Chain A
Amino acid sequence: METVVFLISAAVILSGALGVIFSKNPVHSALFMVQTLFGVAVLFVLLEATFLAAIQVIVYAGAIVILFVFVITLLGVDRAEDLKVEPISGQRPLAVVIGASIFGIILTVLILAVGGPTGEQAANNPLGNATDNTRILGEALFSTQVFSVELTALLLTVAVVGAVVLSTRPTKPLISSLDEKQNETVEEEGGE
């Protein structure tokens, strides 16, 4: 039973991943990515990590890829691209070499590592009782891992503040022909 589910979801994941690379239309690529994420969610369910499965769908499929599709359709870059054009010469062969070597490294680690790639139990075993999943995860995050959780939160806050700063319009007019004096009086009236 488990093997069957694994094989089906593996096929779904891999075909989705190949679809992301080979489809010419960016929106189709995004949809194939959703397919891959769904397959991964099924694998999480198989590992009895039900909370992670739900979060995988809510966060990745429901928020991140939706934003991808949103930006793609809003900016109007949703036309099929001509894949024959190579923006940087030598990019393709280099990409093949790098991709193959990363794949090789991962494969070597997976094969050579004793007791799982990270040595952690949770990496290749169920986390625990499926009904208690959320509780176990929550306790781990807010007791032993609290420092990294807070750091991640800080990182996200910095990212949000950065995005806001980047997107604000300059308050000073950028046109140099404007009279310096007028500029100053307007600013004084408006306040900071």
Chain B
Amino acid sequence: MMIVALDPLLSSDIGFSVVAVMLLKVVLAFALLMVSVMLVIWFERKIVADMHNRVGPSLAGPWGILQTLADGIKLFFKEDLLPERADRVVFRLAPYLSLVPAFLSFAIVPIGGDFTNGGDGTVSIFGHRTLLQVADPPVGILLFLALSSIAVYGVMLAGWSSGSKYPLLGSVRASAQMISYEAALGLSMATVFLSSGTLSTSGIVSGQATWNWNLLATGVIPFVIFVIAGTAELNRPPFDLVEAEQELVGGFHTEYSSIRFALFFLAEFMNMITMSAIAVTLFLGGPNGPILVKQIAWVWPILWFFLKVMAFLFTFVWLRATLPRLRYDQLMDLGWKVLIPASLGWFLLIASLNIGKDRGWSTFLVVPIGLVILSLAALLLNGAIKKAKDSSLHAADLSEISEGTDQ
């Protein structure tokens, strides 16, 4: 309801054909997401197998490409268990709280359309000009943030409602981790808003039409922070403490089986695709790229978008196959003491650059001065963290001494 109401294409003269095009887009996006999830799971298993020098799935279909389908059918027919001590209603609700935001957040991603030479990214379907994205709400990317904060509930309530200790530990870890990294994620996005001057995804993409990608316009650092925080937000390795098998059996979904487990699995991979697509939209120019053959001009943006997303998906798989899991205190230190201050500092730098442009100050002066101030602030922060660590160690020493004299 909300998304339909926000779509500017539907706000005036709603005819049958407009609704039909809208429905077509919704169904297409749904089908696209489902099929790509199926392929991404296969892709991940195959790549990880290659990196481990194994064969990986190879029996179902050519190169094992139908393995996910087979797994899905198997899960569908398995017995659906409900733990005795589970909170019944919440236990049933949790998988959907995970899945629905995963579906909805893909709606704001423009997957094609020509934005170059003043094009507004619309394509014509049956005589209707429309954007190649399901919805283009004015708050755009904030919708993604809102939905990703709802997704935390799915993970958290799944663990809590299972009525068992390992899922609870998993979900407590998950919520702490996702809340911490959401701040860094949002702040790194905010630099993009500053350089684009809009929140709408199509606006952000059309601002990057002429190779002036936000990756460079925001100075790479926000992109790096976004990818790290995004990986943590997805609970993917090396940030997969939420479902650390060695410690927590299976994490928040330990008690889930059958189709409910499949829903969590689906949501996880869907989120991975959406996060890649959002990163491409925000920093890598979305579907923008050179149009090489004029006759099939509409194909190229979709192809570029697909290739960029694939690069991200490969990186996520690559990270999983190569990096060991972080310790919990390292995870929290990285989030609160490195990523959040760094993204905040960089945000201030970009803001002062914008003010400098407004006032006509020289960019060559603003950037070095800003960097000097930032590094001073970083030194101060570093000193404060070191001092806090020292004094807490000192306090621990003292309490040891006092325990010694007590005995």
Chain A residues close to B by CB (< 8 Å): 5, 25, 27-28, 31, 34, 42, 45, 50-51, 53-55, 57-58, 61-63, 66-67, 69-70, 73-74, 78, 130-131, 133-134, 169-173, 175, 177-179, 182, 186, 190
Contacts and interface: CB of A to CB of B under 8 A. Distances in A.
A73 B168 contact: yes
24 contacts: A27-B90, A28-B90, A45-B5, A45-B6, A50-B139, A51-B142, A53-B2, A53-B139, A58-B142, A58-B149, A62-B152, A63-B179, A66-B156, A69-B153, A70-B156, A73-B156, A73-B168, A74-B172, A131-B200, A170-B395, A173-B402, A178-B401, A178-B402, A179-B405
B2 A42 contact: yes
B399 to A, nearest CB: 6
A170 B399 CA distance: 10
Interface string B366-407: 000000000000000000000000111011011101100110
Interface of B: 1-2, 5-6, 8, 87, 90, 137-139, 142-143, 145-146, 148-150, 152-153, 156-157, 160, 168, 171-172, 175-176, 179, 182, 186, 199-200, 390-392, 394-395, 397-399, 401-402, 405-406
A130 B146 contact: no
Contacts of B397: 186, 190
A42 to B, nearest CB: 7
Given A63-B179, A190-B394, A173 B401 contact: yes
B8 A131 contact: yes
Nearest to B193: A134
B399 A173 contact: yes
A169 B182 CA distance: 28
Given A45-B2, A51-B139, A69 B156 contact: yes
A145 B79 CA distance: 59
A23 to B, nearest CB: 11
A190 to B, nearest CB: 4
Given A31-B90, A171-B398, A173-B399, A62 B138 contact: no
Contact of B139 (A54, A73, A172, A190): A54
A25 B152 CA distance: 20
B139 A62 contact: no
Nearest to B179: A66
Given A50-B6, A57-B146, A66-B156, A171 B394 contact: yes
Contacts of A45: 2, 5-6
Given A57-B146, A66-B175, A175 B139 contact: no
Given A62-B146, A69-B160, A173-B398, 4 more contacts: A57-B146, A62-B152, A186-B401, A190-B397
A66 B402 contact: no
Leading 3 A-B pairs by shortest Cβ distance: A62-B149, A54-B142, A57-B146
A179 B404 CA distance: 12
A66 B405 contact: no
A172 to B, nearest CB: 8
A190 B402 CA distance: 15
Contacts of A61: 146, 149-150
A182 B402 CA distance: 10
Nearest to A183: B398
Contacts of A42: 1-2
Contacts of B153: 31, 34, 66, 69
A67 B179 contact: yes
A42 B401 CA distance: 59
Contact of A27 (B137, B160, B406): B160
Given A70-B156, A173-B402, A55 B142 contact: yes
A134 B199 contact: yes
